[in-house]
Structure 1
Amino acid sequence: MDKQIQLKIKRQDQPGAGPYWEEFRVPYKPNMNIVSVLMEIRKNPVNARGESTNPVVWECNCLEEVCGACTMLINGVPRQSCSALIDKIYEKTGFGTPITLAPLSKFPVIRDLMVDRKIMFDNLKKVKAWVPVDGSFAIGRGPRFTDRAHRWAYIISRCMTCGCCMEACPNVSAKSQFIGPAAIAQVRLFNVHPIGAMHQEERLEALVGAGGIQECGNAQNCRQVCPKEIPLTTHIAAMNRQSLKYTLKRWFTT
């Protein structure tokens, strides 16, 4: 008998509908990832009971761990499904062990494994995570970074707003306004930029406001799950220092 991959997928037909679990079996092939397994289900949407069902909905784009769209819970761990190789998963669990797939729990479910990560982009807007430019005309070569700042700034710039850090953070919940680790790190990135630094106080003002850096409980889960290995806790600590200096300055100058 051919080897089969067993999947247990948490599904939801529409926003606000009740979730349910559905099991599938997919013929095993070497070098498959979670996305390729879901594509096999889409080609033949029949569950493990042999019943026809709706194809599983998920989101993906680049298929090379750059866009962050395909993030989901795989065996309870937030990660990208494009880089989750079946062979690697079975090295840990043993072949034949059911693989569970579920949507991220900190974001509204659109359908099945697809969630709405709009809150992350709203938080980037809140902290003004961009470098303002007055126009589209050529302004020549921009100011240079120092080599030291450029090295760690590049690491932060690899963030793909995937949501892993938000999912793993115990301080992110429906009862909290916490903007999360990714947005805090982006404040450091744009505050060190020679042009972005002109607006650093506006970003720091947002960072010390409601849902800001004071909501971080230093659980350090974010660093463990970041697929780009960004040292988020290091950048959060740096922004803690900047925020404290800004707050003290504000107190003594107002």
Structure 2
Amino acid sequence: MPSESPACETVELQIRRQDGPTTKPYWQTFVCPVRPGANVVSLLMDLREHCVTQDGTRVDPVAFEHNCMEEVCGACAMLINGSPRPACSALIAELEAPIRLEPLPKFPVVRDLMVDRAALFAHLKRVKAWIKLDGPWDVHERAPRVSPKEWQANYLYSRCMSCGCCMAACPQFGPQFGSQFGPEASFVGPAPLAQVRLMNAHPTGRYDKAERLHAIMADGGLSDCGNAQNCVRVCPKAIPLTTAIGELGRETTLQAFKDLFGPH
């Protein structure tokens, strides 16, 4: 007589849903079968095929973002059991059930678990988090030399994938902290600050160092950090964000002295 096949494991999934940016959120509960090695993204992908709530009601598939499935792009970041983290690296077997999924806080909800990270990218532009190629320096024939020690330190910050987890956990970042100078002058957040540290350490990026430092010395910059250190606790790439903020504190102080006593 053939042996009975083992029962399929299931998990209860509680999802905070929202039909649009201006509608009220609501909760739905699902009971989903779990494949071996499944993560939150794969569970949501399976749920799209048979999106039926725990009480048997068929509903629209849950909207969410994902791309790389390798914790590189940052698109799938959401609140999982109350903690901001990428969904692709959140293994079901390691999560406490029931699993609660919510959109990443501090960012406007587009639909369900999808959020608009425009504020993060706007702040990256605000601090000029890029390297200019055009200038009086030679970048065409060979790359600038960087010592192994500098490379090792800079690499830690280059791993940022703009997922927004650090911003979601930061108590000083969010639409509720409007500035008297408008939303474009609100706190830039830990991710853009770390990118200032990275770009200023680049052999070519250092030519715009003063401009970046002036950007974070303005309203909504470095002085708005409350040193809660939530950012470094939730960063999925273990980026030393508070170390960067400390280094930038010294750099901005030196820049202030240069502005005060330097040549005019």
Regarding TM over 0.5, the answer is yes
CA drift at 1:110: 0.4
Give every structure 1 segment of 4 or more consecutive aligned residues whose post-TM-superposition deviation is greater than 6 Å: none
The answer for the alignment partner of 2:222 in structure 1 is 213
The answer for the alignment partner of 2:255 in structure 1 is 246
Does structure 1 conserve the Cα–Cα contact (< 8 Å) formed by 2:19 and 2:112?
A: yes
Does structure 1 conserve the Cα–Cα contact (< 8 Å) formed by 2:166 and 2:190?
A: yes
Instruction: Tell me, in whole angstroms, the C-alpha distance in 2 between the residues paired with 1:134 and 1:29.
Output: 51
Per-residue displacement from partner, 1:159-200 (whole Å, max 9, x unpaired)? 000001001111112133111111011011111111111110
The reply to whether residue 34 of structure 1 matches residue 44 of structure 2 is no
> Which runs of no fewer than 5 residues in structure 2 stay unpaired?
1-6, 178-185
**Superposition RMSD on alpha carbons, in Å?**
1.5
Does structure 1 conserve the Cα–Cα contact (< 8 Å) formed by 2:107 and 2:174?
A: no
The reply to whether residue 5 of structure 1 matches residue 11 of structure 2 is yes
Does structure 1 conserve the Cα–Cα contact (< 8 Å) formed by 2:84 and 2:234?
A: yes
SS of match in other structure, 2:228: coil
Per-residue displacement from partner, 1:111-161 (whole Å, max 9, x unpaired)? 0000011111111111111110129x9811021112211111011000000
The reply to whether residue 178 of structure 1 matches residue 187 of structure 2 is yes
The answer for the alignment partner of 2:204 in structure 1 is 195
The reply to whether residue 115 of structure 1 matches residue 115 of structure 2 is yes
The answer for the alignment partner of 1:144 in structure 2 is 145
SS of match in other structure, 2:29: strand
Task: Give 1:80's aligned amino acid.
Answer: P
The answer for the alignment partner of 1:126 in structure 2 is 126
Task: Give 1:21's aligned amino acid.
Answer: W
> Which runs of no fewer than 5 residues in structure 1 stay unpaired?
none
Would the alpha carbon gap of residues 138 and 245 (structure 1) be closer, same or farther in structure 2, given more than 3 Å must change? closer
Instruction: Tell me, in whole angstroms, the C-alpha distance in 2 between the residues paired with 1:150 and 1:221.
Output: 26
Does structure 1 conserve the Cα–Cα contact (< 8 Å) formed by 2:133 and 2:139?
A: no
Does structure 1 conserve the Cα–Cα contact (< 8 Å) formed by 2:76 and 2:87?
A: yes
Moved more, 50-59 or 126-135: 126-135
Instruction: Tell me, in whole angstroms, the C-alpha distance in 2 between the residues paired with 1:161 and 1:242.
Output: 24
Would the alpha carbon gap of residues 138 and 237 (structure 1) be closer, same or farther in structure 2, given more than 3 Å must change? closer
Higher radius of gyration, 1 or 2: 2
From 222, 232, 250, the equivalent of 2:231 is 222
Does structure 1 conserve the Cα–Cα contact (< 8 Å) formed by 2:12 and 2:29?
A: yes
TM-score, normalising length: structure 1: 0.94
